[in-house]
Amino acid sequence: MTSIRSKHLSSKRQPDAISTSIQRRDWLIAAAASAAAIAFPSVKPLAAEPISCVSSFGRSIGQPKFGLVTYLWGKDMDLSTVIKACQHAGMGGVELRTEHRHAVEPALSAMERNTVHKKFEDSGIELIGYGSNCEFHSPKPEVLAENIEQCKKYIQLMHDCGGSGVKVKPNGFAPNVPNEKTIEQIGKALNELAAYGEGFGQQIRLEVHGKNTSQLSVVRDIFQVADHKNATVCWNCNGEDLMEPGIEANFKMVRERFGETLHARELDSKDYPYQELMNMLIASHYAGWVLLEARADPTDKFVAMKQQREIFDEMISNAMKQPTQTKQAK
């Protein structure tokens, strides 16, 4: 899907400037969601769920796209090398992480942000968004406020650079604070940022992350508070996904709040059922990004990225052959 992004830089960015794009996005979302409800009735995406449409690499509604998270394979690449690596591997987009060598940070001037925007625009690679370290569990009000304000700077950065969202994360529960209070605090912070981000065309993506907060029941509870349509879940392929009641039930627990990004480790690893995940993504008409966040350290990252993209293509092909009602029949 064409990201909601501004073509012009402005010192005053008004929500009205992107209202037409948002309306078009919502129409596409409603159409895709209706198709999903027919094929996968137990997973009911919200009407406002930002399901992607057609990428620069030609994938269609209902089919995921493959891209890169620059943590860890891209952490030592400058921006031109990141783009070149994605082109070589046939990956359509990238989520840039903060504090890496490609140095896309809030300190960039308006001219530098425009240069980043143009680099991606000219390359055919999509700047999917930003991987921040913003977290909202601290019991200290000043720390919470600092993280919220930092995230707003990242939202502005992605708006100017042509991205479509900012990844944030829960990072555990605050000590000596009831879990329910921390969950409510995280949810309220997400609502504030989701409302702010909507005005800049930037989705807020909560990565399933952190000790105990990476349990899907906790993520579900956070999103019962974070009810703004622009606050979304970024599935993270954690071991916790396999805990009782199992990956399918955990997937369905939060699928309706999925945003445009999902993180995965090496797809040929044996410790996670990636083919089953791809089957569920296809069955639920997920057409966002599966982003590679690999842990290994291959000598040639370009070759390794291409190999992972080929594995992804094969898995998607296999998933497309699965009967859409197989899972529901069990």
Does the structure show a pLDDT above 50 at 37?
A: no
Does the structure show a pLDDT above 50 at 279?
A: yes
Please compute the mean of the pLDDT values over residues 120-132 and round it to a whole number. Answer: 98
Q: b or e along 87-123 (b: 16 or more beta carbons within 10 Å of the residue's beta carbon)?
A: eebebbbbbbbbebebebeeebeeeebbebbebbeeb
Average pLDDT over the chain reads 85
- The least confident of 5-19, 142-156, 275-289, 291-305 is 5-19
Please compute the mean of the pLDDT values over residues 202-230 and round it to a whole number. Answer: 98
310 vs 17 pLDDT, higher one: 310
Q: Which of 229, 244, 242, 240 is nearest to 197 (CA)?
A: 229
Does the structure show a pLDDT above 60 at 49?
A: no
Determine the pLDDT at residue 9: 37
**Cβ contact 21:202 at 8 Å:** no
Determine the pLDDT at residue 12: 37
**Cβ contact 263:64 at 8 Å:** no
pLDDT band at 323 (very low <50, low <70, confident <90, very high): confident
277 vs 31 pLDDT, higher one: 277
**Cα distance between residue 105 and residue 113, in whole Å:** 9
pLDDT band at 325 (very low <50, low <70, confident <90, very high): very low
| 234 CA to centre of own chain | 5
Query: Any idea what DSSP says for residue 55?
Result: -
Determine the pLDDT at residue 61: 53
Does the structure show a pLDDT above 50 at 241?
A: yes
Q: Is the peptide bond before 245 cis (omega within 30 degrees of 0)?
A: yes
For the chain, domain boundaries: 15-329
Determine the pLDDT at residue 196: 98
Q: Which of 202, 134, 212 is nearest to 172 (CA)?
A: 212
Please compute the mean of the pLDDT values over residues 109-126 and round it to a whole number. Answer: 98
**Cα distance between residue 49 and residue 45, in whole Å:** 6
Non-local (6+) Cβ contacts of 4 within 8 A are 18, 21, 22, 25, 164, 201, 202
**Cα distance between residue 288 and residue 62, in whole Å:** 9
Determine the pLDDT at residue 129: 97
CATH architecture of 15-329: Alpha-Beta Barrel (3.20)
Q: Which of 127, 154, 14, 124 is nearest to 68 (CA)?
A: 127
Dihedrals phi, psi of 323, to nearest 5 degrees = -60, 135
Query: Any idea what DSSP says for residue 43?
Result: S
Q: Which of 147, 271, 264 is nearest to 207 (CA)?
A: 264
Task: Read off the pLDDT of residues 149-191 as tens digits, 9 standing for 90 and up.
Answer: 999 999 999 999 999 999 999 999 999 999 999 999 999 999 9
**Cα distance between residue 323 and residue 310, in whole Å:** 23
**Cβ contact 18:201 at 8 Å:** yes
Task: Please state, for a pLDDT cut of 90, what percent of the chain lies above it.
Answer: 78
pLDDT band at 137 (very low <50, low <70, confident <90, very high): very high
**Cβ contact 287:32 at 8 Å:** yes
**Cβ contact 116:104 at 8 Å:** yes
**Cβ contact 70:95 at 8 Å:** yes
Please compute the mean of the pLDDT values over residues 256-275 and round it to a whole number. Answer: 97
Non-local (6+) Cβ contacts of 146 within 8 A are none
Does the structure show a pLDDT above 60 at 22?
A: no
Does the structure show a pLDDT above 50 at 193?
A: yes
Does the structure show a pLDDT above 70 at 52?
A: no
Does the structure show a pLDDT above 50 at 1?
A: no
Residue 108 Cα distances to 103, 116, 238, 244, 328, angstroms: 9, 10, 33, 45, 49
**Cα distance between residue 221 and residue 214, in whole Å:** 12
Does the structure show a pLDDT above 90 at 148?
A: yes
Kind and range of the H or E run holding 24? helix 19-39
Does the structure show a pLDDT above 90 at 29?
A: no
**Cα distance between residue 257 and residue 261, in whole Å:** 11
* Highest averaged pLDDT of the listed ranges 56-60, 292-296, 326-330: 292-296
Determine the pLDDT at residue 324: 63
**Cβ contact 225:188 at 8 Å:** yes
Q: Is the peptide bond before 72 cis (omega within 30 degrees of 0)?
A: yes
Determine the pLDDT at residue 92: 97
Does the structure show a pLDDT above 50 at 218?
A: yes
Rg of the chain over CA atoms, in angstroms?
19
Task: Read off the pLDDT of residues 80-103 as tens digits, 9 standing for 90 and up.
Answer: 999 999 999 999 999 999 999 999
**Cα distance between residue 36 and residue 255, in whole Å:** 11
